[in-house]
Amino acid sequence: MTDIRFIATCDAPLDVAFEYIDDHRNVLEYWHGMTKYQPVGEPDHGLGSVFEAVSKIGPSTLKSKIRTVEWKRNVLVAYRSVSGMESATTFDFAAVDEDHSIVELSVSFKLPGGIAGKALEKTLEPFVSTAAKNTAENISKKVAEYYAKRRAGSGSGTAELPQ
């Protein structure tokens, strides 16, 4: 498996960063290369929720269904693929202080197909690394924008999801 890790610093409190990242309706705004991300059935949030995902990574379009396998408010959201490309994605959240937080993004993936799959995995690794880096930068930017809108009183941005 190929493992990639980046940290996004957010100019927003921990709960705001978590709320933004945890809302599936925001994924296409911050996830570099993601072209489709939608819930499959119920629940559409939290532990056990399943999403159909399509990503354009370098020369490849990768499709998968992913399930939320760990979910702890303001701490962690983890996904594992249930079909398509074998993958694991984890967002770990931590407060820096009252108005700042960090989000650690970890992505692991493995392509099927024996030797050919390993060769393609090595070819895609720099593209996935760049996408993860861009995603971390997008998280920093989009979370700050989301928080600024909330502070300005222009609404909460995204509707509150169930607990």
DSSP state letters, 9-40: EESS-HHHHHHHHH-GGGHHHHSTTEEEEEE-
Q: What is the CATH architecture assignment of 2-151?
A: 2-Layer Sandwich (3.30)
Question: Which residues, at least 6 apart from 26, have a Cβ–Cβ distance to it below 8 Å?
Answer: 20, 142, 146, 158
The sheet with strand 100-110 has its strands ordered as 2-10, 100-110, 86-97, 76-84, 60-72, 50-57, 34-39
Specify the higher pLDDT residue, 132 or 51.
Answer: 51
> How is the chain split into domains, by residue range?
2-151
- Note the pLDDT of residue 9: 96
> What is the share, in percent, of the chain residues with pLDDT greater than 90?
64
> Largest Cα–Cα distance of the chain, in whole Å?
55
DSSP letter for 84, please.
E
Q: What is the mean pLDDT of residues 56-60?
A: 79
